[in-house]
Amino acid sequence: MAHTDSRGLPITTRSAEAASLYREGVDLLLSAWPGAVETLGRAVEADPGFALARAALARAHAVRAEPEAARSQIDRASALVAEGGTDREKSHVEALALAIAGQGARALDRVLAHLESWPRDTVVFGLPLGAFGLFAFSGMADHDQARVDLCDRHAAQFGADDWWFLTYRGWSHAENGAVAFGRSLATKGFDLRPANANGAHAVSHAMFEDGAGAEADAFIAGWLPGYDRTGVLHGHIAWHQALSALERGDADRALAIYNAFVQPAASAGLPINIVTDSVSLLWRLRAYGHVVPAALWDEAALYAGERFPGAVHPFVEVHLGLAEAMTGRADRLAARIDAASRLVEAGQLPAGPVVPALFRAALAFAEERYAACVATLEPMAAEVVRIGGSGAQREVFEDTLLVALMKSGEAEKARALLDERLHRRPSPRDSAWRQGLVA
């Protein structure tokens, strides 16, 4: 009997039980729902020679930041497809292997070629998408458009009712500026499968970009209790709720959400999310003039240093730099500046000179040298997109520039930036700042 995955693509396994578990496990993986590793592990137990199950299990381990387990499974999958996999299975495993090995550029090339032949291969299709995907972390300035182009090119292959594709196509469009269209797609995908953390995340993102912060807060408050706290996106979705509260000036609510769900001691999420969410929310609170207990900064900086002791991706690096700037670790930040500058000079940092510039701007802001912060950050503002992440995540740097402009007496430039932001997205906070500058 021939077996297929949940999108109708053939899979090589002798076990109907393994095939069923694979379909279930992949959908759990695609929805960031607890149980993917366990379910895919059972698929492997049912058929130890099932290469795609091992490849999906490797991806699930990688998503959970378990690199050794990921490498072990993808190595076995590679050996199995070499012995007798189909062309699609060989290409599928190769793409995942390159991504797991951290070979982003080669992985992206392999993925794009693979999708030309097998666009409904969702495990591979997911690799370049999202805020932390291969496009976002490529150093490209136009990665938002690249995601949209990829999804639109293959939309006809998925039809109008694939919950996973609607989720990611919607997120991609909302992130790229087509907010109403993206929100409608993401909402439809979520409605088709509410037990989908990626779907809830996409809807929350679209609401934020739509200026519907109160609606996002209420949506998350209603959905999050049904998502187990061990889910990898639990803390990050709560971060979106805190961000919505902060947009409306409710710092106490934002800090309460942070303490309950986002801070390192409270979240079971991915280290990359815990570090960047903690640091960026605390930085925003401080930049907006709210009091942040020093203990929270110390906890965030300690966790960041323990989880990422060496050089990592620029998106994480710049958040480590924010933590070091705000906790007075100027020596460590100086070392980051030197290291990033050398990589830029050698042409080995795809994100380019924006990375050391963000370090310098963060240090100047923390030391209340606001004019110096502006002088460093303003010329690089359009390049911040190269570090990856989402618009909501990168906005912390635009906020830093805006506050520095206001504090350094650059009222005209601050008004212009606020006008542009308010045109892009209504914000009670930005409206209040704009009103204050007029007064």
157 and 288 part of one domain: no
Q: Looking at the domain assignment, is residue 231 inside a domain?
A: no
Q: Which residue has the tokens 């012995």?
A: 83
Please check the confidence at residue 311 and state whether its pLDDT lies above 80: no
Q: Looking at the domain assignment, is residue 100 inside a domain?
A: yes
- At 364 the pLDDT is 97
Residue 190 sits in a domain of what CATH number? 1.25.40
Q: Running DSSP on this structure, what letter comes out for residue 233?
A: T
Q: Per the confidence metrics, is the pTM higher than 0.85? A: yes
Residue 80 sits in a domain of what CATH number? 1.25.40.10
Residue 274: count other Cβ atoms within 10 Å of its Cβ.
Answer: 24
Please check the confidence at residue 439 and state whether its pLDDT lies above 70: no
State the chain's mean pLDDT as an integer.
96
| Mean pLDDT on 66-72 | 97
Q: Looking at the domain assignment, is residue 362 inside a domain?
A: yes
Q: Looking at the domain assignment, is residue 327 inside a domain?
A: yes
Q: Looking at the domain assignment, is residue 337 inside a domain?
A: yes
Tokens of 418: 């606020």
Go through the chain and tell me how many residues it has: 439
Domain endpoint, select from 123, 152, 174: 123
| Alpha helices by DSSP H, 31-86 | 36-46, 51-63, 67-84
Nearest residue to 100 via CA among 66, 138, 129? 66
159 and 53 part of one domain: no
- At 310 the pLDDT is 81
166 and 290 part of one domain: no
Taking the C-alpha atoms of residue 285 and residue 389, their distance in angstroms, rounded to an integer, is 20
Q: Which residue has the tokens 């907010």?
A: 179
Q: Looking at the domain assignment, is residue 276 inside a domain?
A: yes
Residues 127-185: tens digit of each pLDDT: 999 999 999 999 999 999 999 999 999 999 999 999 999 999 999 999 999 999 999 99
Owning domain of residue 315: 237-438
Contact 30, 23 (CB under 8 A): no
List the Cα angle 303/370/388 in 5-degree steps. Answer: 50
- Residue 261 CA, distance from chain mean position: 17
- At 316 the pLDDT is 96
118 and 138 part of one domain: no
What 58-63 contacts at long range (C-beta under 8 Å, 24+ apart), as own/partner pairs, is: 58/96, 58/100, 59/29, 59/96, 59/100, 59/123, 60/25, 60/29, 60/36, 61/37, 62/99, 62/100, 63/29, 63/32, 63/36, 63/232, 63/270
Residues 74-133: tens digit of each pLDDT: 999 999 999 989 999 999 999 999 999 999 999 999 999 999 999 999 999 999 999 999
371 and 341 part of one domain: yes
| Mean pLDDT on 391-396 | 96
255 and 336 part of one domain: yes
Contact 368, 328 (CB under 8 A): no
SS3 425: coil
Taking the C-alpha atoms of residue 212 and residue 214, their distance in angstroms, rounded to an integer, is 6
Contact 148, 179 (CB under 8 A): no
Taking the C-alpha atoms of residue 201 and residue 236, their distance in angstroms, rounded to an integer, is 8
419 and 304 part of one domain: yes
- At 312 the pLDDT is 82
114 and 151 part of one domain: no
- At 2 the pLDDT is 86
Q: Buried (b) or exposed (e) across 350-375, using 16+ Cβ within 10 A?
A: bbbbbbbbbbbbbbbbbeebbebbbe
117 and 161 part of one domain: no
In single-letter form, the type of residue at position 380 comes to M
Q: Looking at the domain assignment, is residue 227 inside a domain?
A: no
CB hemisphere CA count around 393 (13 angstroms): 26
15 and 109 part of one domain: yes
Paired with 10 in beta bridges are 4
Please check the confidence at residue 195 and state whether its pLDDT lies above 70: yes
7 and 146 part of one domain: no
1 pLDDT tier (thresholds 50, 70, 90):
low
Domain count, the chain: 3
Residues 218-259: tens digit of each pLDDT: 999 999 999 999 999 999 999 999 999 999 999 999 999 999
Q: Looking at the domain assignment, is residue 55 inside a domain?
A: yes
Residue 220: count other Cβ atoms within 10 Å of its Cβ.
Answer: 24
Contact 153, 128 (CB under 8 A): no
263 and 333 part of one domain: yes
